[in-house]
Amino acid sequence: MELFWYIVLMVMLVTYIILDGYDFGAGIIHLFFGKNDKDKKAITNAIGPFWDANEVWLIAVGGVLFFAFPTLYAVSFSGFYLPLIFILWLLIFRAIGLELRGQLKNKMWEAIWDKSFGLASLLLALFFGIALGNVVRGVNLGMVTDGVSTHEAHYFFLPLWNPTFSPNAEHLGIIDWFTLLLGIISVVALTIHGANWIIFKTNSSINERLKKVVFNLNIVLVLLVICSVFVWHYVDPQPFKNFMEQPLLWVLPGITLFGLFGLFNVKKFKKHGLGFLFSSLFLLGGLSSTVASIFPKVLPSTNDVNPSLTIHNVAADDYGLSVGVYWFIIAAVLVVVYMFIQYRVFRGKMDDVGYGEH
């Protein structure tokens, strides 16, 4: 049952990143490439009917984590307390930036909330990438100092950074050069993803410029991905162990590369949705490959004193997990029906939605 709920959790997490990821990317595009009100309006129209529903997936991920893996939920919300508070405030300011902008026709008022929306989107993309880096790198479980565990085996707490800025330090921080690299990759990937969504959902004059942005950023993304693969062994001596033992897993990096190199054809696509499809495949493959590389670990330990957290030692009781399957099936059906109706109602281009006009 642990494996079933782990797969459910990962599917929901990947769904969240793909769906809310284009919202973050649209916010970054809004910040750097929304040069006039017409462009900004096109961007907010593209995500207006979807962004709040997309964020519900994050709440659902938290709910499943609490239900199926309560130990992981407890230690993560304690150890990652600082970045989680930042993420909470960024989600708030991103939302109110969208909702409050149209409440008052004043240039200064609109500029404040435009910046709130754009900067919050940028920092959210950065922090989620840094979070992934922390999971890959691991944490000092038990807060081991000089070979002695100073706390219980599953406890940890991380400051924002450590003095050495190194992912191999005994006492780690949230931000170091490795986690920051993954944060930058996240920002670039989600910017591309958001640009593709805007191209898909609008006929805006900004779209031709965004195709050039996607192409150029994709070159940067390829270089960053290559760099991350080469430095991965600094935090994990055997990053491809699972892939060597289970060759079928190489399908996941294959999906990543297929999506990545498909984006180089963005200027040639006749169907506007193809760019979004390829960036979604990149996110799907990249996240799945990362998860597969550390499986069955869910939070590696960076010391030899306390064991890593795995799906087996953080899961709830089998009886509770089994009963939860029935409720999950009901919830899954309701979600599928809701999403089908939502995307059916708002299919096609969104130029005339008029989102934010109160």
Q: What is the pLDDT of residue 289?
A: 92
pLDDT of 127 reads 93
pLDDT given at position 354: 64
User: For residue 39, how many other CB atoms are within 10 A of its CB?
Assistant: 19
pLDDT digits (tens, 9 = 90+) for 27-36: 999 888 887 8
Contacts of residue 344, Cβ cutoff 8 Å, sequence gap at least 6: none
CB 79 within 8 A of CB 155: yes
pLDDT of residue 355: 62
- Ranges of each domain in the chain: 2-345
pLDDT at 103: 76
The percent of residues above 70 in pLDDT, for the chain, comes to: 98
Strand, coil or helix: 306: coil
Q: If you write DSSP's letter for every residue of 202-247 in order, what string do you get?
A: ---TTHHHHHHHHHHHHHHHHHHHHHHHHHGGGT-S-TTHHHHH-G
CA–CA separation, 86 and 263 (whole Å): 32
Task: Residue 298: count other Cβ atoms within 10 Å of its Cβ.
Answer: 24
pLDDT of residue 284: 95
Phi, psi of 145 (to 5 degrees): -130, 120
Determine the Cα–Cα distance for residues 109 and 85; give it in Å rounded to an integer: 26
Tokens 């996607």 — which residue? 214
> What is the per-residue pLDDT across 11-29, written as a single tens digit (0 to 9) for each?
999 999 999 899 999 999 9
Question: What is the model's pLDDT at position 336?
Answer: 87
| Mean pLDDT of the chain, nearest integer | 88
pLDDT per position as a tens digit, 59-97? 888 899 998 999 999 999 888 888 889 999 999 988 888
pLDDT at 172: 87
Measured between alpha carbons, how far is 256 from 285 in angstroms, rounded to an integer? 4
pLDDT at 358: 47
| Strand, coil or helix: 298 | strand
Which pLDDT does position 43 carry in this prediction?
A: 86
37: Cβ–Cβ under 8 A, 6 or more apart, which residues?
none
* DSSP string over 125-176: HHHHHHHHHHHHH-B-TT-EETTEE-S-TT-----SB-TT--TTSSS--SB-
Per the listing, tokens 């799906």 go with 311
Other C-beta atoms within 10 Å of 140: how many?
24
Name the stretches of the chain with pLDDT < 50: 358
